[in-house]
Homo-oligomer: A and B are copies of this chain.
Amino acid sequence: MVQDSIRILQAQGHKATRPRKLVLEILEEMDRPLSPYDIQGVLRQRGKYLNHVTIYRVLDILCSLNLAHKMLSSGGFVRCSLDMAEGCHRFMVCQHCGAIREFADKELCQGENEFARNFGFHAEHHHSELAGLCSRCYRK
């Protein structure tokens, strides 16, 4: 999966560098929103080091290619778990354990688009976050 992302990076003319691989690995492994400093901390625990500026820059690129997303409610970053859902990013955010699940749905977007058009608004990107409880936390 990290490999897939790296390939996409390269296809866009970006280099396959150590910091980029490391950030992708961490995002993949942790699977919950991490701030740039969180990522730096995880790496440090493993005896590895990246400057936080570098992490910011890596995340910028990943987000611009939709390989990662910035969770708006927490400010943390998660890797993108969908193949192609340009312009439609919806997330279930468990308020208890912090787990994230991404999804996309054309009909939802169309519904929102129609609503917007009634106000003369032309929507390009959708970003929606549902706060609630994941199945595991709900059972408790």
A-side interface residues toward B, CB under 8 Å?
Answer: 72-73, 90, 92, 94-95, 101, 103, 105, 107-108, 111-113, 115-116, 119-135, 138
Q: How far is the CB of A123 from chain B (nearest CB, A)?
A: 4
Find out whether the CB atom of B101 lies under 8 angstroms from the CB atom of A121: yes
A137's closest neighbor in chain B, by CB?
B122
Oligomeric state, in copies = 2
> Cβ of A108: which chain B residues have Cβ within 8 Å of it?
108, 111-112, 115
CA separation between A129 and B123, bound complex, in Å?
10
CA separation between A90 and B92, bound complex, in Å?
16
21 A-B residue contacts at CB 8 Å? A72-B129, A94-B121, A95-B124, A101-B121, A105-B115, A107-B111, A108-B111, A108-B115, A112-B128, A113-B130, A116-B130, A116-B132, A120-B134, A120-B135, A121-B132, A121-B135, A122-B138, A124-B133, A126-B128, A127-B129, A127-B131
Q: How far is the CB of A57 from chain B (nearest CB, A)?
A: 20
Q: How far is the CB of A94 from chain B (nearest CB, A)?
A: 8
Tell which of B101, B103, B123, B128 touches A92, judged by Cβ atoms closer than 8 Å.
Answer: B123
